Amino acid sequence: KEIKQKTQPKVFSLADIQLEASSKYGFSAQETLDTCQSLYETHKLASYPRSDCQYLPESQWEESKTVLTAIAKILPKFLPLIRQCNLQIKSAVWNDKKISAHHGIIPTGQAGSLEKLSDKEQKIYELLCLRYICQFYPPYKFYLTNVSLAVENETFSAKGTTTISPGWKAVIAQEKNEKEEEIPLLQEGQQLTLKDVKLQQEKTKAPPAFTEGTLIAAMENIHNAVEDPKDKKLLKDGDGIGTPATRAAIITELKRKGYLETKGKQIHATALGQQLLTVVPPLIKNPALTARFERVLKQVENKEVLLEQFLEIQKKFIRQEIASLFKKE
């Protein structure tokens, strides 16, 4: 039995808020992006949304009282949570070394009106606010209990958690509705009576279909789906497939062309999309190809490679792929 703690969740990147909104509300990736954009551009209630970062500049920690005051005025129902905030707490999310081109998506200190927000805007704004409020609550502390039971020549195990102090989990407890798997108090070497044994035959389940949110997350972490060590490292060092600003548009375009379709919250490849995959050359389907192109484009940006050189590489590549198709015919 060990005492553990879990620190505050990081603030949202675009991929994270798309995943959360898809899971909780069934929003498409594009809907979430558009809603975040309107909160930023039209209402001035959220920071720049097209970000892959989950951290905040340390200088913004001093603005937290202004932000929390604005949240309380716009969402009075969060006032009890805000009153319990400890503004002396500086979570790990405030870290200048982790900031990329943009910081994480958070509420601003701008005064606003809930009545001016659409239903979608209100839902996304609330998610941003709750994640921000979490930063001013202490870590979640709990007992982690692992049990090993010897029965004849077999060993059975179980584990569970028991809350010591909810900390930031008190902020999102209603949102997550998590249940603890509590383990009774036991002592090492204790003898127990085995009351019953049940044997169940189970089958492995196929991985669940993607939602737009989990697909965005998979695009961002595409290295997890690649086996070749070199390609895996290339993709892990890069941004995955697309960027925070383009991933939703990629999915939207694939749906527009009839390669993907949504069924409820889930997204599936259509018959046309599956047929396309049978004719596309393996190299074109390899996600590492995108990473390699992005790597060279980064070299172009840093003036290490001339743009003309990159274009020549692309032309040569296209000619080779077309020539290989004619050879097959």
Catalytic residues: 48
Q: Is 158 exposed, middle or buried (0-12, 13-18, 19+ CB in 10 A)?
A: exposed
Angle between helices 247-256 and 212-220 (to 10 degrees): 120
**Helix/strand/coil for 161:** strand
Helix (H, G, I), strand (E, B) or coil at 25: helix
Cβ atoms of residues 162 and 180 within 8 Å: yes
Order of all β-strands in the sheet with 140-151: 2-6, 140-151, 154-165
The whole-angstrom separation of Cα 24 and Cα 64 is 27
Question: 326: exposed, middle or buried (C-beta count within 10 Å: 0-12, 13-18, 19+)?
Answer: exposed
Q: Which two tokens stand for residue 193?
A: 């009576």
| Pairing outcome for strands 154-165 and 140-151 | antiparallel
CA dihedral 171, 177, 178, 179 (to 10 degrees): 120
- The count of C-alpha atoms lying within 13 angstroms of the C-alpha of 136, restricted to the half-sphere facing its C-beta, is 19
Crossing angle for the helix pair 119-134 and 14-25, nearest 10 degrees? 120
Q: Quick one: which H or E segment has residue 123? A: helix 119-134
